[in-house]
């Protein structure tokens, strides 16, 4: 009898593969959309797209060492962000320029060292390989990301308005920007299994751009961006599942469709 009860409880707690993919996708969409809203305000949209390419060498290393790709991707993203942050302060070059240099070099190195059978998966993602470990990792990382973003929220917004004002209030602009970029790296690394290194940037940029079309204040904007990110991820995954299509491109197309809808709504106002 006891064994039967344990078995029943295990069946209740078991999540089918599609359900697991949807939960992970929604969590990543929330995190990507939420952070993407600030990237759009900071005019760093293309930085978010380029950063996903920096992860490719780390994914290759993780594959060769039989590790979760997240850790390899985040490792190279973290090193890249520290390098960009340091060089930006020393050379006075804009972050977009430094990211552009880094992402092309990383993409070239990643293509060279990634084992050929896994290269397509690394570039476009493979959500079918998501497991329960990814669920707990994603839930914890997205929660921490949102909490930390709330901590630096004031500094990020003030920096958008006026860097001099931010410094006059005793807020370190460099430290705030570094923490923000690390949070972006976490979300990008998490989302690589959904959209891959070539497409993950779209999940950071497009839902946030769509939210901007219909938002009337900053609170609504960040909220809608997170909701839209979740909606795009879930709809893309479902369409891909039922029509036997790759999920990464479908998530991007769902995001594009949502952007067009919000654009039409904006024009009607």
d(CA 259, CA 27): 20
Which CATH class for the 31-124+135-268 domain?
Answer: mainly alpha
Query: CA 81, 130, 143 angle in degrees (round to 5)?
Result: 55
* pLDDT greater than 50 at residue 61: yes
Task: Report the pLDDT value the prediction gives residue 83, as an integer from 0 to 100.
Answer: 82
118 in Cβ contact with 181 (< 8 Å)? no
pLDDT tens track for 143-199: 999 999 999 988 888 888 877 777 777 778 888 888 998 998 898 888 887 777 777
Looking at residue 164, what is its pLDDT?
74
Token code pair at residue 116: 């050929």
The pLDDT of residue 3 is above 80: no
Q: Which two tokens stand for residue 170?
A: 């005793």
From start to end of 4-69, where are the E strands? none
Residue of 158, 180, 153 lying closest to 44 (CA atoms):
180
**Are the C-beta atoms of residues 75 and 128 closer than 8 Å to each other?**
no
The listed range with the strongest mean pLDDT (82-86, 114-118, 147-151, 170-174) is 147-151
Domain positions in the chain are 31-124+135-268
pTM for this prediction: 0.84
Residue 93, token pair as written in the block: 């070059």
The pLDDT value recorded for residue 248 is: 84
Reported as a single tens digit per residue, the pLDDT across 13-36 is 467 888 888 999 999 999 999 999
Spatial CA neighbour of 123 closest among 196, 69, 194: 196
- For the stretch 2-26, what's the b/e string if a residue is b when 16 or more beta carbons lie within 10 angstroms of its beta carbon? eeeeeeeeeeeeeeeeeebbbbbbb
- 65 versus 163: the higher-pLDDT residue is 65
DSSP string, 17-33: HHHHHHHHHHHHHHHHH
* Mean pLDDT score, 109-119: 78
Give pLDDT tens digits for 217-254: 888 999 999 999 999 999 999 998 999 888 888 999 99
At residue 99, the pLDDT reads 75
**Quick one: tokens of 253?**
């197309």
**Residues in CB range of 72: below 8 A, 6 or more apart:** 55, 58, 59, 60, 61, 62, 63, 65
- Supply the mean pLDDT for the chain: 83
Neighbours of 87 (CB within 10 A): 16
Answer yes or no: is pLDDT of 84 > 90.
no
Residue 6 confidence (pLDDT)? 43
State what percent of residues in the chain have pLDDT above 90.
26
């Amino acid at each position: 009898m006891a064994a039967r009860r344990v078995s029943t409880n295990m069946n209740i707690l078991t999540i089918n593969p599609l359900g697991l993919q949807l939960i992970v996708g929604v969590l990543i969409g929330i995190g990507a959309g939420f952070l993407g809203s600030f990237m759009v305000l900071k005019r760093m949209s293309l930085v978010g797209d380029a950063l996903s390419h920096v992860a490719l060498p780390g994914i290759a290393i993780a594959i060769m060492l039989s590790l979760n790709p997240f850790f390899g991707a985040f490792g190279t993203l973290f090193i890249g962000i520290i390098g960009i942050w340091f060089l930006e302060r020393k050379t006075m070059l804009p972050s977009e320029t430094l990211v552009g240099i880094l992402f092309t070099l990383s993409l070239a190195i990643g293509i060279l060292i990634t084992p050929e059978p896994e290269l397509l998966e690394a570039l476009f993602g493979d959500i079918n390989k998501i497991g329960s470990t990814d669920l707990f990792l994603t839930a914890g990382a997205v929660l921490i990301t949102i909490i930390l973003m709330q901590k630096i929220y004031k500094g990020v917004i003030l920096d958008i308005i006026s860097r001099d004002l931010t410094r006059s209030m005793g807020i370190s602009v460099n430290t705030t920007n570094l923490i923000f970029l690390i949070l972006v790296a976490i979300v990008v690394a998490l989302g690589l299994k959904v959209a891959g290194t070539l497409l993950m940037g779209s999940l950071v940029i497009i839902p946030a751009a769509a939210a901007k079309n219909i938002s009337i204040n900053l609170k609504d904007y960040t909220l809608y961006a997170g909701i839209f990110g979740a909606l795009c991820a879930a709809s893309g995954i479902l369409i891909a599942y039922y029509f036997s299509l790759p999920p990464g491109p479908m998530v991007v197309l769902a995001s594009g469709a949502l952007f067009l809808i919000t654009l039409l709504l904006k024009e009607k106002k």
